[in-house]
Structure 1
């Protein structure tokens, strides 16, 4: 099976923002996800957010952290929490374990298929920006539940130490 490089597509139609993750979504796409989270929190007329993971073969923990950030960016602004569409058992299990059902409505298929999606241009990230985002993503995940706190504590501590060391030079 070919691993497809990750892509992020998006559409905004009649108040519904759709974010579709395809292929292998890793930390390299985090800057793009982050800019979407920030943009969403300021989008006028936003009524619903749907994240489509049906074509994602893998979503790493950093990318998951930014999906959680998307949910937090729109918290209190929408009538219902964002929806995640995931039909792959591994992805569903991962979302369960990570505690995503507290922040999202998890479904296997959308009520309606989204309109035309366009590829989002990849936002480049330098090494320091990347490290900062990985740290932020895992801090967000740690706040979601106890399992994540235990799972990511060592990584977060290591990244914080790296960040502290890089600021001393």
Structure 2
């Protein structure tokens, strides 16, 4: 959740990047991925879908993370591989952290879950109650 502004900015940056040919997401060190991060990973896939010849790749080591990606239907949008992989010539870089205020954070969390719900019916059923709750909270704070 703390990285949602970073992931959101990266999805937009990738969508606008000229000459983009490959996207690799390195989750080798992840032991857990929350639903907000999953939503923004889905946003990355949707942002670059029409621009790439092959789907983006997620590299994952931890079996729980892999299982989560499988259950959420990520294999329809990504190529899922286990490490080790040959790193690209320029290496892999950490994303710079982007700060967000509380209102921006709430909006991004809501967007991430809406994106997850669009991926498949399982996700829609899983996240609809949370999205309804977040929307109600947002309406109360806007009043």
Cα–Cα, structure 1 residues 51 and 119, in superposed 2: closer, same or farther, change >3 Å? closer
Give the corresponding residue for 1:131. Answer: 106
Structure with greater strand percent? 1
Name the TM-score, length of structure 1 as normaliser. Answer: 0.80
Give the corresponding residue for 1:56. Answer: 30
Q: Could you tell me how far apart the structure 2 residues matched to 1:135 and 1:88 are?
A: 27
TM-align CA RMSD: 1.2
**Larger RCO of the pair (alpha carbons < 8 Å, separation 6+):** 2
Q: Could you tell me how far apart the structure 1 residues matched to 2:106 and 2:66 are?
A: 27
Cα–Cα, structure 1 residues 124 and 138, in superposed 2: closer, same or farther, change >3 Å? same
CA drift of 1:45 comes to 1.1
Name the TM-score, length of structure 2 as normaliser. Answer: 0.94
Q: Which runs of 4+ in 1 moved over 6 A?
A: none
Equivalent of residue 155 in structure 1, options 115, 130, 140? 130
Give the corresponding residue for 1:164. Answer: 139
Q: Could you tell me how far apart the structure 1 residues matched to 2:4 and 2:123 are?
A: 19
Corresponding residue pairs, total:
142
CA drift of 1:119 comes to 3.3
Give the corresponding residue for 1:98. Answer: 72
The more displaced of 102-111 and 45-54 is: 102-111
Give the corresponding residue for 1:119. Answer: 94
Any gaps of 5 or more consecutive residues in structure 2? none
Q: Could you tell me how far apart the structure 2 residues matched to 1:44 and 1:92 are?
A: 30
Q: Could you tell me how far apart the structure 2 residues matched to 1:82 and 1:118 are?
A: 16
Give the corresponding residue for 2:11. Answer: 37
Structure with greater helix percent? 2
